[in-house]
Amino acid sequence: MLKSLSLNNRTAFDIVNVVAGLGLLVSPWLLGFTAETYAAWNGWIVGAAIALIAVAALYAFYEVEEWINLALGVWALAAPWVLGFSAVTAAMWAHVIAGIVVAALAAGSIWFSHNRPWSTA
């Protein structure tokens, strides 16, 4: 039962990561920061990469896909400060929210793939 529960959680996590990646991908147009070069290009590239990797993980789970999405999620979270667009509020929040969601779900998927319990108590 734990195995099937794990599979269902991974599938749900990957679907949410696809949505988060697509959200980051379209955020420059929807939130109006296409003129902010670093923010827009980072959103397009990282959002597309997250979505494509999550789609690949839906078809054939390999742990490396989750590790890549974990790294991309952490990058999306840090990018506003690293690339210097933290003052662009819409871009910053789009990246932070997508980064947190993607990183947390990728970490959860990795956790479940090893069948580790949430608590040892």
pLDDT of residue 35: 95
Lowest-pLDDT choice from 3-17, 45-59, 63-77: 3-17
pLDDT of residue 3: 46
Sorting pLDDT into bands at 50, 70 and 90, what band is 60? Answer: confident
CB-count exposure of residue 4 (10 Å: 0-12, 13-18, 19+): exposed
The Cα–Cα gap between 97 and 64 comes to 23
As a whole-number percent, the residues of the chain with pLDDT over 90 amount to 66
Query: What are the backbone dihedrals phi and psi of residue 115, each rounded to the nearest 5 degrees, phi first?
Result: 50, 40
Q: Evaluate whether 19 touches 49 at the Cβ level (below 8 Å).
A: no
pLDDT of residue 1: 39
The Cα–Cα gap between 102 and 46 comes to 11
Supply the angle between the helices 89-113 and 2-30 in degrees, to the nearest 10: 170
Q: Is the pLDDT of residue 96 over 90?
A: yes
